[in-house]
Structure 1
Amino acid sequence: MSVLYLLVEILTAGAWKTPYSFARDSISSLGVTTCSTDSCSPLHDVMNAAFMVLGALTILGAALLHKYIPDGRTKKWILGLAVVVALSTAATGMFPANDGTFVHWTAVLPGFVARHAVLVFLAVAFWNHQRWIAVWSGLCAATGLVGAVLLLGRTLTFGLGERLTLYPLPMWMAVTGVAAILALMRRTVLKNVDMTLLGNGFITALLSLRPRRSLPPVSTDVLARRAKASV
């Protein structure tokens, strides 16, 4: 469901009276509650609500993933960092950019750092258990870190650099969630097929055990009379 957050960005940006640039403008600009010469977001309530919902989804996802994370030190770090990301994301919607630079960035910065760390820990935790999850987590972490470096170095425009930094985590959540659902569906289908085959096999076994009808015994006198009659 986290992929819906990206759709909300597109919806909110489309409501702007002045052109919104995904390459130049910040994500936080979509949530500002006041209008200025450069920015005015009519659907700021929708965007800020999306931040809060994404935070709730992050905690929910961490809770559902908890029992599948291999035991070890990294497990506690993953859950702790997921909570930090969730609270930071929700706080971004609670304290929009126009509430003050210090307050807003205090809410945003923990999530900036924690989201990359949690992906790295996920890659480490799953490396010996589910290699594809580890590789996918590492790829998302690397993409986000490259984005952060390019953003801080001002190599990219702010909007593009910020999205390259922040988008990998919700994309990780969406893709991993879809993969989990597909795996569950496949396992359910295979289980149903196995049960059907088991049921058919059980019926076949019962039929094989059913006693066959046998002809009543015929006495020797009857057989002699039949032979004589045929002659």
Structure 2
Amino acid sequence: MHISSEEQKTSSKGQKTGALCFAAGGLIYLLAEKISASGWRSPAYSYLHNYISDLGIASCGATPDGRDICSPLHNVMNAGFAAEGVLFFLACWLLRPVFKGQGERAFVFFGLLHGSGGVMIAAFHSGGGTGGITVHQTGAVLAIAGGNLCLLSAGWIKRQHDGWRGFSLLSLILGSLGLISMVTISFDVLPVGIIERLSVYTITGWQIGTGLWLRMQTRT
């Protein structure tokens, strides 16, 4: 089948945009986390002992497990959750030509789960007065599990492609680490802030690295 130069340009533009969405989503998320954490005064936010979702809680006070919460810049974090989720799914959709093959549908589907989870986390705050804690927890599972499964599917798709072996191996390792960390959050193996970030930063680091790498590939 003949592909016109115009179709090739359109496909290339979509891939460039998808790569930028991956990188931008991860960077926006990290920036929102840093800004909202800096707004805490009494108490100070702890990357070691506080959950990430604590940054998005709209009300101040003690949580049921006794943690003192007050996040003045909660809107920044919730905007970051939502923006990252939307950009992540958009990237997966636009990068379908790159991740074409066995597992392509899983790649897009898990990207959708991750994106939907991010929006749910932003809309329903953990421990807030909205009555949406169950919805929040569901969103967190979708975001973390969906994101790490997306990494695994990306690694699986590219496992036998020349020039992609390192990417495939790293994707499979990070996705597995993220899922294992998610499962062990409730076992108190490490402080909650550390173990939760091990399950989330695998996704964040991967999407930033993948986005920048794909952007460089399209430029060359």
TM-score, structure 1 as length reference = 0.76
Contact 2:28 2:83 in 1 (8 A): no
Query: Residue in 1 aligned with 2:28?
Result: 4
**Match for 1:95: what amino acid?**
F
State the structure with bigger RCO (CA 8 A, min sep 6), 1 or 2: 2
Q: Which SS does the other structure have where 1:66 is aligned?
A: coil
Given candidates 26, 37, 40, the residue that maps to 2:70 is 40
User: Any idea what the Cα deviations from partners look like across 1:145-176, whole Å, max 9, x if unmatched?
Assistant: 33224423210111111110111112111001
State the alpha-carbon separation in 2 of the partners of residues 58 and 70 from structure 1.
Answer: 17
Show the 5 A alignment for 1:8-87.
8-17=32-41, 18-37=43-62, 38-72=68-102, 74-87=103-116
Q: Which residue of 2 aligns with 1:158?
A: 192
Which residue does 1:88 correspond to in 2?
Answer: 117
- State the distance in 1 between where 2:34 and 2:176 align: 25
The CA distance in 1 between the partners of 2:186 and 2:59, in whole Å, is 27
Q: Partner amino acid for 1:85?
A: H
Question: What amino acid sits opposite 2:168 in the alignment?
Answer: A
Asked if the contact 1:26/1:162 (under 8 Å) is kept, the reply is yes
C-alpha distance in 2, partners of 1:8/1:83?
Answer: 21
CA displacement, residues 42-90 of structure 1 (integer Å, 9 cap, x when unaligned): 1111110111100111111112211111322x11111111101100011
- Cα distance per residue 1:111-137 (max 9 Å; x no partner): 232222221111111001121221121
- Paired residues of 1:55 and 1:89 also in contact (CA < 8 A): yes
Q: Which has the higher helix share?
A: 1
Q: Of the two, which has the highest radius of gyration? A: 1
Superposition pairs of residues 1-231 of structure 1, within 5 angstroms: 1=24, 2-17=26-41, 18-37=43-62, 38-72=68-102, 74-97=103-126, 98=128, 99-100=130-131, 101-129=133-161, 130-185=164-219, 187=220
Distance 1:40 1:65 in 2: 39
Distance in 2, matches of 1:110 and 1:146, equals 15
Q: TM-score, normalised by structure 2?
A: 0.79
Matched-pair contact (CA < 8 Å) for 2:56–2:125: yes
1:36 & 1:47 partners in 2: Cα distance? Answer: 18
Q: Which runs of 5+ in 1 are unaligned?
A: 188-231
Deviating more after overlay: 15-24 vs 142-151: 142-151
**RMSD, matched Cα:** 1.4
**Is contact 2:120–2:135 with CA below 8 Å preserved after alignment?**
no
Contact 1:3-1:171 at 8 Å conserved across structures: no
SS at match of 1:68: coil
Q: Residue type matched to 1:13 in 2?
A: A
Moved >4 Å (runs of 4+): none
